[in-house]
């Protein structure tokens, strides 16, 4: 098997890539060819043009694809809008075929019945990949109706999405059908020389007391233990029902067992009656607990799964990773949990709205999960990467320590809940406040009637931080981030204990200075800039940062304040970096 991975740039470039693939196929005797096309925009015209070029240049090839929340190429997040992967099989026995159907809740049983008939007519089928548009759909009946497939047949896949989390539209497409906003595509794999191994990775661990779902309909969970579901999130985590609800709860999905498998459901929003909309269905009567996400625990799970996959000796690895995991890690670090598989075989995939995997005969719909399909043709080959030891040294985060404490000392739950509240507002890597909490503090300072105390913001961005990651690796990059965080904590505390620092995202940080006007804030910013530039990082040397400063204008919207300090920061970047600009 041979994989070709590339980003779509334009028609000329695509035709050139396809010409080289055709040459390889002619020289190596390709038996089957399958393209995966993943795009972060459901742009029907663009998709149709790409498919038309494929049909023109390689009419015998199969293809399938969907819109995504981002693409995975060579084992890491791809900034490209469209990623294309070509799988070239050379064993004559390999069989691949695509199917496509309209999908709504009303026809879910009809569609899965049709799939089962098609599989029965093709005794060579060993695995089924699916990509589907699932927004607003209950997929329970769809999944349950596939239970009576031959037990040996693997089923795996993901839900189509869009580059924007709040976008409504998504689409699927294939050689067997046009771009559809309500549809499902199946890829059938098989043949004597086709082999597949599927796994899933969660890494989230259950936390605290078990609760029963006493009232639920589809993906709306109304009650846990007879009380509004929101009560559990507020009682144990002190998470407020506000605009930041989704960001605060993403580390704490609901964890329960279905069909003998650990399932996660992330809260999406909270309704006025205290019911919570989850990412997918939760069955009434299920018992579960809140779960926590911790980088170290997740990477431990990745390492264990990588060992299992290595034993299979794959030639290609297809990954379906939840968009929630991308949000949890951030684009600069999401590769930490996908790149380990690239060392085993070329790895590609996309970020999903949901993940699907058949385990113990049951097709389960997952969320906040990494589904992995490892593929090869023919007998296993020696894999020297299997013995490699992964280095994922991390700080043991507060949330990991806290979860251990809770599970071993539930009688002190009240004290533990207070600490959990701190975890819910803390960035796991740096120990600073997370973005949601800093936003809340800014809004709190600006809200209410009457005269308010002045306050200023300082926004920080590390200069050329991407070069640090690219040159020295993410581990060194993380040490620079945590070093800056520690420096800010010490420096600000020495000025005034009221001053707050938080991680805004990636290499950006935000400082809140109550009681301070712009001029004095700019002086503080200059001290921070000079002090940070003197730090010598082992492996990365000295680094610099740019800073923007602004002051709250009474009566203005907090978003306007944040936009202005962001503008000041990027003015500093534009005029040469390593400087302070006040607006």
What mean pLDDT value characterizes the chain? 92
Model-level pTM? 0.72
Q: Does 238 score more than 50 pLDDT?
A: yes
The predicted pLDDT at position 395 comes to 47
Q: Do residue 183 and residue 246 come from a single domain?
A: no
- 249 to 101, 108, 225: CA distances (angstroms): 35, 31, 19
Helix, strand, or coil here: 334?
helix
Residue 547: inside a domain:
yes
The predicted pLDDT at position 297 comes to 86
Q: Do residue 120 and residue 20 come from a single domain?
A: yes
Residue 193: inside a domain:
yes
Q: Do residue 283 and residue 328 come from a single domain?
A: no
Percent of the chain with pLDDT over 70: 93
Q: Do residue 224 and residue 181 come from a single domain?
A: no
Q: Do residue 173 and residue 222 come from a single domain?
A: no
Residue 392: inside a domain:
no
Q: Do residue 248 and residue 193 come from a single domain?
A: no
The predicted pLDDT at position 63 comes to 98
The predicted pLDDT at position 427 comes to 92
Residue 12: inside a domain:
yes
Other C-beta atoms within 10 Å of 523: how many? 13
Which residue matches tokens 């299979």?
312
Q: Do residue 115 and residue 72 come from a single domain?
A: yes
pLDDT confidence bin for 9, thresholds 50/70/90: very high
Last residue of a domain, one of 387, 412, 446: 387
Summarised one tens digit per residue, pLDDT across range 535-570 is 999 889 999 999 999 999 998 999 999 999 999 999
Domain coverage including residue 218: 205-292
The predicted pLDDT at position 415 comes to 65
Last residue of a domain, one of 245, 266, 292: 292
Helix, strand, or coil here: 30?
coil
Per-residue buried b or exposed e for 353-390, using 16+ beta carbons within 10 Å of the residue's own CB: bbbbbbbeebbbbbbbbbbbbbbbbbeeeebeeeeeeb
Count the domains in the chain: 3
Q: Do residue 163 and residue 15 come from a single domain?
A: yes
pLDDT confidence bin for 333, thresholds 50/70/90: very high
Q: Do residue 257 and residue 371 come from a single domain?
A: no
Residue 416: inside a domain:
no
Residue 393: inside a domain:
no
Residue 413: inside a domain:
no
Q: How far is CA 560 from the centre of its chain?
A: 29
CATH number of the domain encompassing residue 560? 3.30.70.270
Summarised one tens digit per residue, pLDDT across range 183-236 is 999 999 999 999 999 999 999 988 878 899 999 999 999 999 999 999 999 988
Residue 400: inside a domain:
no
Summarised one tens digit per residue, pLDDT across range 71-98 is 999 999 999 999 999 999 999 999 999 9
Instruction: Report whether 509 contacts 427 (CB < 8 A).
Output: no
pLDDT confidence bin for 57, thresholds 50/70/90: very high
Q: Do residue 481 and residue 564 come from a single domain?
A: yes
Q: Do residue 281 and residue 340 come from a single domain?
A: no
- 156 to 128, 200, 253, 459: CA distances (angstroms): 6, 10, 22, 43
Q: Do residue 504 and residue 562 come from a single domain?
A: yes
The secondary structure of 445-470 as a DSSP string is HH-SSS----EEEEEEEETTHHHHHH
Alpha-carbon torsion, ordered 416, 420, 422, 425, to 10 deg: 180
Summarised one tens digit per residue, pLDDT across range 130-188 is 999 998 899 999 999 999 999 999 999 999 999 887 777 999 999 999 999 999 999 99
Lookup: tokens for 520: 């004095």
Q: Does 275 score more than 60 pLDDT?
A: yes
């Amino acid at each position: 098997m041979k994989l070709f991975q590339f980003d779509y740039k334009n028609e000329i470039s695509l035709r050139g890539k396809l010409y080289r693939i055709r040459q390889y196929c002619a020289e190596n005797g390709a038996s089957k060819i399958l393209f995966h096309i993943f795009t972060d925009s459901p742009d029907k015209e663009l998709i149709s043009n790409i498919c038309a070029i494929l049909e023109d240049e390689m009419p015998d090839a199969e293809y399938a694809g969907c819109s995504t929340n981002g693409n995975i190429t060579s084992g890491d997040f791809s900034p490209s809008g469209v990623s294309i992967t070509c799988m070239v099989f050379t064993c004559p026995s390999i069989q691949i075929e695509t199917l496509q159907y309209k999908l709504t809740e009303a026809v879910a049983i009809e569609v899965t019945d049709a799939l089962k008939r098609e599989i029965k007519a093709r005794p060579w089928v060993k695995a089924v990949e699916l990509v589907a548009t699932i927004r607003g759909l209950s997929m329970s009946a769809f999944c349950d109706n596939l239970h009576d497939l031959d037990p040996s047949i693997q089923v795996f896949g993901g839900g189509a999405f869009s580059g924007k989390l709040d976008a409504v539209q998504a689409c699927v497409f294939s050689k067997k059908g046009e771009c559809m906003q309500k549809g499902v595509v199946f890829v059938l794999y098989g043949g004597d020389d086709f082999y597949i191994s599927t796994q899933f990775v969660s890494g989230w661990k259950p936390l605290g007391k078990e609760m029963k779902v006493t009232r639920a309909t589809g993906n709306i969970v109304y009650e846990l233990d007879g009380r509004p579901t929101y009560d559990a999130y507020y009682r144990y985590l002190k998470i407020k029902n506000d605009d930041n609800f989704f960001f605060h709860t993403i580390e704490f999905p609901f964890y329960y067992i279905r069909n003998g498998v650990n399932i996660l459901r992330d809260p999406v929003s909270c309704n006025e009656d205290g019911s919570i909309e989850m990412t997918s269905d939760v069955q009434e009567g299920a018992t579960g607990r809140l779960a926590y996400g911790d980088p170290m625990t997740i990477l431990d799970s990745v390492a264990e799964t990588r060992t299992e996959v290595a034993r299979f000796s794959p030639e290609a690895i297809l990954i379906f990773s939840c968009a929630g995991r991308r949000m949890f890690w951030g684009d600069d670090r999401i590769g930490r949990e996908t790149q380990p598989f690239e060392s085993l075989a070329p790895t590609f995939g996309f970020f999903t709205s949901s993940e699907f995997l058949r385990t113990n005969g049951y097709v389960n719909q997952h969320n906040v999960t990494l589904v992995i399909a490892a593929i090869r043709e023919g007998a296993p080959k020696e894999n020297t990467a299997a013995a490699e030891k992964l280095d994922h040294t991390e700080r043991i985060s507060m949330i990991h320590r806290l979860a251990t404490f809770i599970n071993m000392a539930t009688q002190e739950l009240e004290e533990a809940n207070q600490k959990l509240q701190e975890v819910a507002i803390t960035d796991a890597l740096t120990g600073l406040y997370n973005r949601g909490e800093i936003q809340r503090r800014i809004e709190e300072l600006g809200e209410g009637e009457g005269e308010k105390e002045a306050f200023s913001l300082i926004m920080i961005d590390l200069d050329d931080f991407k070069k640090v990651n690219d040159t020295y690796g993410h581990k060194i990059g993380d040490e620079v981030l945590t070093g800056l965080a520690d420096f800010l904590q010490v420096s600000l505390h020495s000025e005034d204990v009221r001053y707050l620092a938080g991680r805004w995202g990636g290499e950006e940080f935000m400082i809140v200075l109550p009681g301070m006007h712009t001029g004095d804030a700019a002086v503080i910013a200059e001290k921070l800039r000079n002090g940070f530039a003197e730090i010598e990082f082992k492996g990365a040397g000295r680094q610099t940062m740019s800073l923007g400063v602004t002051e709250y204008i009474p009566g203005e919207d907090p978003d306007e304040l944040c936009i202005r300090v962001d503008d000041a920061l990027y003015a500093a970047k534009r005029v040469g970096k390593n400087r302070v600009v006040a607006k």
